[in-house]
Amino acid sequence: MNVQAKTWVSIGPLTEIPRQGARCVKNGDMSIAVFRTSQDQVFALEDKCPHKNGPLSQGIVHDGCVTCPLHNWVISLETGAAQGADVGQTATFEIKIKDGIVLLAL
Amino acid sequence: MSKKHLVIVGNGMAPGRMLEHLFEVTDAYDVTIFNAEPRVNYDRIMLSPVLSGEKTYADIIIHGEGWYEEHGITLHQGEKITEIHRNERKVLSEAGREVAYDKLVIATGSNPFIIPLPGHDLPGVLAYRDLDDTGAMIDASDKGGRAVVIGGGLLGLEAAAGLKQRGMEVTVIHLMPTLMERQLDTAAGYLLQRELEGRGIEVLCEANTKQILGKDRVEGVELADGRVIDASLVVMAVGIRPNVQLAQEAGLEINRGIVTDATMKTSDPNIYSVGECVEVGGLVYGLVAPLYRMAKVAADHLAGASEMAFAHAETPTKLKVTGCDLYSVGDFAEGDGREDIVLRDAMRGTYKRVILKDNKIIGAVLYGDVADGGWYNELLKSGEDISEMRETLIFGQAYQGGAGADPLAAVANLADDAEICGCNGITKGTIMAAIQAKGLTTLADVRAHTKASASCGTCTGLVENVMALTLGDAFQLPASEGMCPCTPHSHGHVRRLIKAKGLKSIPAVMQALEWTTPEGCAKCRPALNYYLVADWPGVYVDDQQSRFINERVHANIQKDGTYSVVPRMFGGITTPDELRAIADVADKYEIPTVKVTGGQRIDLLGVKKEDLIPVWADLNAAGMISGAAYAKGLRTVKTCVGSDWCRFGTQDSTGLGIKLEHYLWGAWTPAKLKLAVSGCPRNCAESTCKDIGIVCVDSGYEVLYGGAAGLHIQGTTKLGTVPSEEDVIEVVGALTQYYRETGFYLERIYKWADRLGYDHIREVILDDLDQRKAYNARFAYAQSFAQVDPWAEFVSGKDAHEFNPINIRKLEAAE
Ligand SMILES: Cc1cc2nc3c(=O)[nH]c(=O)nc-3n(C[C@H](O)[C@H](O)[C@H](O)COP(=O)(O)OP(=O)(O)OC[C@H]3O[C@@H](n4cnc5c(N)ncnc54)[C@H](O)[C@@H]3O)c2cc1C
Ligand code: SF4
Ligand code: SF4
Ligand code: FES
């Protein structure tokens, strides 16, 4: 990602993302999946599985990973990398929580 | 030589400790302390034992009056400082006293946070911070009644346990789904809740307080969902805020707390700060261990030139409720490159989890067995590489037998007559002898020949270890025979134990069956969710986050991430109005493909996720409900036109199909369930390759099941012939229920029947009338909860978040 031009945008309160779930943020043509774990951590990945572009936001979230709904690849929320024997990586975005509001770096 | 004058604002635990250090190294200061509380320095931590009656105030005094005299300290008890004049280096108290200082230490601690709910200022609403609060709680408890504690964190739970011990009824209201979520993971939070509930404390999680009720004093609490809980005492323990007001008014640098550098100096070189009011290194603290380190650093710098600096370190959390042993330290959130080692012992109710990163411990959560907490914390602090003891780490320090620590060692050390399988009384020697004498190489062989681990199966791991020991390299410890890598238990075991142990939530199953991961995976979570839905109708609340996306949004995800929508057409019968509504929806939402399915209904393909709700709303308005074309549950009941129209028809196959679909819709089953009803043996509805098929004959109805026409093709097997439509419905209900109760997740009905045996199923469902009726009654009961149209629920606003993307709200300054 382009480091110089990083802008933090607010995508609203953490509580609007379901625990162990995700929501999508549209940024132009790109869809970014914002995940919230059971421990209230947030992660942002491009909503595209490195396998065949499956929408990761629709997968099951468990132990720091999401399982893609299309063919069950397991993707790390932190790095976007496919786990296990599968190879591939999804773009990640910086994200943080400030005073209960989720901020995303675009 | 005149001494310098040190003034301290606040007389809590932090400055108390600071003075002890200071007097060890210097007597350069005359000390004056102002304390708003009319007391000497006492051990605030020990208020909980005072509340529960295990200690008295006298027991918890740290510095008695004598100590102040001995050190020549002037202590103004119950006198608050209201202003600091930094230019003149003076403080002013509320009594009007002015005192000059050379060095000032601000140690104002923190204030309990009070949510400004309606009624928060009624008499009987208390915080939990000091001796006065504790005394007020004890007085209230003398009068009995119910106490409501708002906040399920450390303080709230200690208050709840203490009040319970004082004989009050107690309810804890907690906003988050699990208790102490900042210190405990979900699994440990669940255990803690179970323990407290076992003591008669009511715990309401995910409960939001709307207001506190009462006229002249508190009478109850109303929750956001409308529930009202009577209460004669309300304790708010929802967090603390650093008490920075005085420092702020004096113009010192403030952020979340009073900002200091690593030497505890504030933005004014003559003013230091210690305790909970401080923010150092960007962090504020609420436990005494770091405050005591602050105290030491500040004392050293006050005494003269010093190199000492405050450094962050993880502080473990413990709960001081007698009998609730928990310990957590460090970082236990999820993250990449992190590994969990989990050990659950359901018998003893313990849970241990150690979190590793790069072969170092970065966190630990222990419940029930906390003996090794300190050891893990040491390893965490030292950053030691644990790869050498990885295999035995979770068992604790006692298992680190120096050289050669080996998971098999414990088994190797067992005597030959040690019992491995408790259910069947099989010893280690018996297993080893059988392996050698009969040349057994697999677990299944060992089970067959010795019965070891053939019953409850909890000793499977031990048996495998014995095998590994006896066979050496010839035996590969299996990755797992379990339903997924998270558990060694098979689906059958899990199902049986859910019922036998009355497990009613996913965390309960994971704990009781000793899951090896904290949250399971995409294989076991949907399976557990199904088992719980099927086994506890009306009790278990479906966990949406454990469902695959199709079932969560009630539509089929397609390969491009759009969805397909299939409205139900009972028995394959539709009307011009329904068709018109479908056509309108296809036009309005520009749905690219409209297709007739194999199940006699219409599929709208290519619906965008954000259009799902409006599409459903329109279809609902035309009287249609979800066809559940996505579900591991009832899909369709296909029919032919039967005696209504067909010259060969023997019965009203269409009418029966419609009745069956009305009875079965909404049911969740282990895998998808498709039915068909044909009006005669010509079988136009293809009943003989369905999960359940009906073929009408002159004498009645043949009920067939166990067909398949997917990757695998198989004709149905006949269950039997019954005389009436009512019998068909009863038999199909009973068969479906038997499958629901004993099937494994994703196991189609033909595989289930192969496993259980067709003869056996006939005996239960067809021949034994009592059993048939009982299964059917259980099915009907479950249906009373299951038949809710998911579309209508969503249209009326449930889980709206599932469907709409978040908008970017506002731009922040570029960084
Ligand atoms: C019930 C309870 C249980 C706890 N259990 C634990 C535990 O198990 N483990 C743990 O590590 N920690 C525990 N804590 C937290 C721990 O007690 C605190 O972190 C610690 O006591 C804070 O010390 P302090 O000196 O910073 O502030 P405090 O002890 O809060 O002292 C601040 C003092 O300053 C006075 N003051 C404030 N403003 C002024 C002013 N303007 N002028 C004069 N005086 C002023 C206040 O009256 C107060 O007496 C517990 C706390 C409570 C309430
Ligand atoms: S199955 Fe028999 S009754 Fe039904 S349409 Fe075919 S021929 Fe007619
Ligand atoms: S037959 Fe294959 S390609 Fe066609 S819908 Fe079924 S799974 Fe998809
Ligand atoms: S697209 Fe994600 S696993 Fe295939």
Q: Which value, to the nearest 10 degrees, does the dihedral of the CA atoms of residues B448, B451, B453, B457 take?
A: 90
Residue A36 has, within 13 A of its CA and on its CB side, a CA count of 21
pLDDT value of residue B463 = 81
Chain B residues with CB inside 8 Å of A23's CB?
Answer: 801, 805-806
Q: B812 vs chain A: nearest CA distance in angstroms?
A: 5
Mean pLDDT of B509-529: 88
pLDDT at B405 over 50: no
| Residue pLDDT, tens place only, B202-220 | 999 989 999 999 999 999 9
Strands A7-13 and A21-27: unpaired
Of B668, B645, B639, B789, whose CA–CA distance to B728 is shortest?
Answer: B639
pLDDT value of residue B476 = 66
pLDDT value of residue B263 = 96
Apex CA B569: angle with CA B567 and CA B573, to 5°? 150
CB contact under 8 A, A20 and B519: yes
Mean pLDDT of A15-23: 88
Apex CA B451: angle with CA B450 and CA B452, to 5°? 85
Best residue among B60, B61, B108 to mutate for probing ligand 1, ranked by most atoms within 8 Å of CB: B108
Residue of B nearest to A103 (CA): B812
Handedness of CA B484, B485, B487, B490 (dihedral sign): positive
Strands B169-173 and B202-204: parallel
Mean pLDDT of B624-646: 91
Whether B679 lines ligand 2, by a CB cut-off of 6 Å, is yes
- Structural domains of chain B sorted by starting position, each given as residue range(s) with its CATH number in brackets: 4-110+242-303 (3.50.50.60), 125-238 (3.50.50.60), 325-407 (3.30.390.30), 412-539 (1.10.10.1100), 549-626 (3.90.480.10), 634-786 (3.30.413.10)
CB contact under 8 A, A63 and B521: yes
pLDDT value of residue B198 = 87
Give residue B355's identity as a one-letter amino acid code: I
Chain B residues with CB inside 8 Å of A81's CB?
Answer: 336
At residue B40 the predicted structure's pLDDT band, cuts being 50, 70 and 90, is very high
E strand spans, B619-688: 634-639, 673-678
| Ligand 3 centre distance from Cα of residue B567 (Å) | 19
Of B30, B105, B82, B81, whose CA–CA distance to B266 is shortest?
Answer: B105
Which element (helix H / strand E) includes B15? helix B13-25
CA distance B207 to B223: 7
Q: A67 vs chain B: nearest CA distance in angstroms?
A: 6
Q: Percentage of chain B with pLDDT > 90?
A: 53
Which element (helix H / strand E) includes B704? strand B700-705
Helix (H, G, I), strand (E, B) or coil at B470: helix
Between A28 and B595, residue with greater pLDDT: B595
E strand spans, B398-475: 419-421, 426-427
Of B396, B375, B364, B377, whose CA–CA distance to B185 is shortest?
Answer: B364
* CB-CB contact of B277 with B294 (8 Å): no
DSSP 8-state class, residue B250: T
pLDDT at B280 over 80: yes
At residue B413 the predicted structure's pLDDT band, cuts being 50, 70 and 90, is low
Handedness of CA B568, B574, B576, B579 (dihedral sign): positive
pLDDT value of residue B398 = 66
Give residue B711's identity as a one-letter amino acid code: L
Mean pLDDT of B482-511: 82
Of B64, B24, B23, whose CA–CA distance to B42 is shortest?
Answer: B64
Atom of ligand 4 lying closest to residue A52 CA: 1
CA distance B326 to B339: 21
DSSP 8-state class, residue B548: -
Alpha-helical segments (H) within B218-274: 245-249
At residue B566 the predicted structure's pLDDT band, cuts being 50, 70 and 90, is very high
Alpha-carbon Rg for chain A in angstroms: 13
CA distance B501 to B522: 24
Handedness of CA B274, B277, B282, B284 (dihedral sign): positive
Option in A7, A34, A52 nearest B806 (CB): A34
pLDDT value of residue B449 = 81
Atom of ligand 4 lying closest to residue A73 CA: 3
Which residue is it, tokens 């102040």? B68
Which element (helix H / strand E) includes B221? strand B218-223
DSSP 8-state class, residue A20: T
Interface test with A, best of B545, B558, B609 (most A CBs within 10 A): B545
CA distance A35 to A44: 6
Which residue is it, tokens 């090794």? B372
Q: What is the mean pLDDT of chain B?
A: 87
Which ligand has the shortest distance to the CA of B643?
2
| Ligand 2 centre distance from Cα of residue B531 (Å) | 38
Of B245, B275, B315, B278, whose CA–CA distance to B82 is shortest?
Answer: B245
Atom of ligand 2 lying closest to residue B649 CA: 3
E strand spans, B41-199: 41-42, 61-63, 74-77, 81-85, 90-93, 98-100, 103-106, 110-112, 125-126, 146-150, 169-173
Which residue is it, tokens 């508190």? B218
Question: What is the CB neighbour count within 10 angstroms for residue B230?
Answer: 14
Q: Percentage of chain B with pLDDT > 70?
A: 92
Cβ neighbours for A59, distance < 8 A, ≥ 6 positions apart = A22, A66, A67, A68, A69, A75, B522, B549
Q: Whose CA is nearest to atom 12 of ligand 1?
A: B287
Option in B520, B545, B557 nearest A69 (CB): B557
A53: left (phi over 0), alpha (psi -120 to 50) or beta: left
pLDDT value of residue B457 = 47
Residue B499 has, within 13 A of its CA and on its CB side, a CA count of 11
* CB-CB contact of A68 with A59 (8 Å): yes
CA distance B34 to B74: 8
* CB-CB contact of B769 with B650 (8 Å): no
CB contact under 8 A, A70 and B333: no
pLDDT value of residue B511 = 85
Atom of ligand 2 lying closest to residue B641 CA: 5
Tokens matching residue B304 = 């003269």
Handedness of CA B272, B278, B282, B286 (dihedral sign): positive
Worst-scoring range by mean pLDDT, B5-14, B352-361, B542-551, B620-629? B542-551
| Residue pLDDT, tens place only, B720-745 | 999 999 999 999 999 999 999 989 99
pLDDT value of residue B262 = 95
Residues in chain B: 815
CB contact under 8 A, A9 and B808: yes
Helix (H, G, I), strand (E, B) or coil at B580: helix
Handedness of CA B291, B293, B299, B301 (dihedral sign): negative
Give residue B635's identity as a one-letter amino acid code: R
Cβ neighbours for B250, distance < 8 A, ≥ 6 positions apart = B83, B84, B85, B86, B268
* CB-CB contact of B464 with B477 (8 Å): yes
Which residue is it, tokens 């060890």? B24
At residue B453 the predicted structure's pLDDT band, cuts being 50, 70 and 90, is low
* CB-CB contact of B264 with B280 (8 Å): yes
* CB-CB contact of B376 with B345 (8 Å): no
Option in B333, B340, B525 nearest A41 (CB): B333
Atom of ligand 4 lying closest to residue A49 CA: 2
Superfamily for the A16-105 domain: Rieske [2Fe-2S] iron-sulphur domain (2.102.10.10)
Worst-scoring range by mean pLDDT, B342-356, B391-405, B574-588, B774-788? B391-405
Work out the burial of residue B661: count CB atoms within 10 Å of its CB; fewer than 13 is exposed, 13-18 middle, 19 or more buried. Answer: buried
Best residue among B639, B640, B654, B704 to mutate for probing ligand 2, ranked by most atoms within 8 Å of CB: B640
Whether B63 lines ligand 1, by a CB cut-off of 6 Å, is no
Mean pLDDT of B400-417: 56
Alpha-carbon Rg for chain B in angstroms: 34
Mean pLDDT of B760-771: 92
pLDDT at A2 over 70: no
* Residues B45-71: b if buried by 16+ CB within 10 A, e if exposed: ebbbbbbbeeeeeeebbbbeeebbeeb
Alpha-helical segments (H) within B549-671: 549-553, 576-588, 612-621, 642-645, 653-664
| Ligand 1 centre distance from Cα of residue B108 (Å) | 8
pLDDT at A65 over 70: yes
CA distance B714 to B717: 9
CB contact under 8 A, A10 and B549: no
Residues in chain A: 106
Judge whether B680 is annotated as a binding position.
yes
Q: A57 vs chain B: nearest CA distance in angstroms?
A: 9
* CB-CB contact of B676 with B693 (8 Å): yes
Which element (helix H / strand E) includes B437? helix B428-438
A86 touches chain B (CB under 8 A): no
CB contact under 8 A, B545 and A5: no
Q: Helix B186-198 to helix B154-165 angle, to the nearest 10 degrees?
A: 10
At residue B481 the predicted structure's pLDDT band, cuts being 50, 70 and 90, is low
CB contact under 8 A, B811 and A9: yes
At residue B454 the predicted structure's pLDDT band, cuts being 50, 70 and 90, is low
CB contact under 8 A, A39 and B332: yes
Q: Between A and B, how many CB-CB pairs are < 8 A?
A: 135
CA B714 to chain centroid: 42
| Residue pLDDT, tens place only, B89-144 | 999 999 999 999 999 999 999 999 999 999 999 999 999 999 999 999 999 999 88
A85 touches chain B (CB under 8 A): no
A90 touches chain B (CB under 8 A): no
